[in-house]
Amino acid sequence: MAMPDASALHTQHTPDKLRALGIMALNGMFDEMDGVSVLRQAATDLLAGDLAIVSSFGADSAVLLHMVAQVDPSLPVFFLETGKHFSETLAYVETLKKTLGLINVTALVPDPKDLARFDARGDLWETDPDSCCHIRKTEPLDVVLDGFGGWVTGRKRYQTKERGVLPHFELTSDDRIKVNPLAYFSDADVNAYKIKHGLPEHPLFARGYKSIGCAPCTTIVAEGEDPRAGRWRGLNKKECGIHFDFNGAIAKPMPVAELTLYKDGAFIADPFHHAWAEGDDPAAVRYTHIPLPVFLANREAVLANPHPLGLLVSPGDKVEDVEQDLARFASVAVLFPAFTDGRGYSSARLLSERFAYKGELRAVGDVLADQIPLMRRCGINAFVVKHEPTRKALENGSLATVNIFYQPVGTTEVPVGTRPFLRRALETA
């Protein structure tokens, strides 16, 4: 989708006059259903040359964009191209541009550096959808909106409880005016408008998608359900974050200092952020290390669970009991509850050497700097580190080197005090 670069579209605005505007009086000037007049007032008088349109090109977007085309088809329209949209949405962007004659549509994309740092595998939406939205939507939009005195949204009162008091005009905490021409439109009003003006539907609307965002976080809405019930289904999340103002409810990407998983030479975001808790459903949890005894008691349910899962091995657990099912787990966490308890080393060696487990093998618990070289020798390739000196040692590459050991690993190492010819030959191991 070829669109102009957003970086040079607008200069820094001067918001000094905005707080002086009588927003409350302004909201009483227009009929509730006269969205076109609201938009025209904002675009030609209140914020002439200083107004941006933000559109998701979702199920209802044609209504607002049709109004934009009536007022001024050259108004800047910004589409948040998150990289996670349905292909049908990208096609719909082109359809509406052509049908409505919109000539200034720009795709905003996430910063590649942010993606590489926080979502290198592209699956952050599964474990931390708030941060995913922040990286892919909020951050790119903030950069562009910094150059405008106001912006237009397609939000409506009926959509969520939080939007139930939405006015036509809002004054945000950063001295910008947010304009909501469709604030008082109901679902029926939106559909009637589309029919009256012969607007093309989003290709997914007829298939049951009543509110359409990124593909991984959008599901079909059943008859009688709230139109936005298909967004982030099953999660305590109702907004992507671009509309949060005073409440600050959106999670920022996790600072490096808060990352605790060390893997492949760096501290990275940990997808297995949910610790198993009593009452969790083994058939439905995701990105959770399930304790080995719990797995054995619920084996069929866990094996049928479609989500990524891990296994938690504690001291005393019999790893051999799960040998045949190890491939089911994307990660195995070996618990080291205390420095003096070394049973985790034996469990790690069983997993990596005898059972040839090839997934992520991580150490959790009391993970300290002088243990990590020994853990690595036993096949552990990831470490959850909460001890600050250990963290600094990993970051600085200053871990101790262990050259003398009493317990050999594999068939090539010789423990101190043992003559080489007494070791098993490689071919007979």
Please report whether residue 246 resides in a domain.
no
CATH of the domain at 372: 3.20.20
- 22 falls within a domain: yes
Q: Residue 260 to residues 309, 329, 362: CA-CA distances in angstroms? A: 19, 21, 12
Instruction: Give yes or no for residue 6 having a pLDDT over 90.
Output: no
- Report yes or no on 237 lying in a domain: no
**pTM as predicted:** 0.54
Those residues with Cβ within 8 angstroms of residue 128's Cβ, 6 or more apart along the chain or in another chain: 251, 254, 269, 273
Instruction: Say which residues have a Cβ less than 8 Å from residue 338's Cβ, sequence separation at least 6.
Output: 365, 366
For the chain, give the mean pLDDT.
81
Phi, psi of 257 (to 5 degrees): -65, -20
DSSP one-letter string for 232-299:
STTSS----STT--SS--SPPPPPGGG--EEETTEEE--S--EEP-TT--TTT--SEEEEHHHHHHTH
166 pLDDT band (50/70/90 cuts)? confident
CA distance 429 to 408: 13
In this structure, what is the dihedral angle of CA atoms 243, 247, 250, 251, given to the nearest 10 degrees? 160
pLDDT, tens digit, 9 for 90 and up, residues 217-248: 888 887 777 666 767 666 655 555 444 443 33
Whether residue 240 lies in the annotated active site: yes
Identify whether 225 is part of a domain: no
Does a structural domain hold residue 232?
no
My answer on whether 211 and 277 are in the same domain is: no
Q: Does position 10 have pLDDT exceeding 70, yes or no?
A: no
Q: Which pLDDT does position 4 carry in this prediction?
A: 46
Number of structural domains (the chain) is: 2
Residue 224 lies in a domain: no
User: Within 13 Å of residue 62, how many CA atoms lie on the same side as its CB?
Assistant: 25
**Residue 151 and residue 63 share a domain:** yes
Considering the domain boundaries, does residue 234 fall inside one?
no
The residue annotated as part of the active site, out of 132, 133, 240, 378, is 240
By DSSP bridging, strand 51-55 and strand 77-80 are: parallel
State the Rg of the chain over Cα.
Answer: 28
Range of the domain at 324: 256-422
pLDDT tier at 63, thresholds 50, 70, 90: very high
Tell whether 270 and 197 lie within a shared domain: no
The Cα-based distances of 210 to 129, 213, 229 in angstroms read 20, 10, 9
**pLDDT tens per residue, range 139-149:** 888 888 888 98
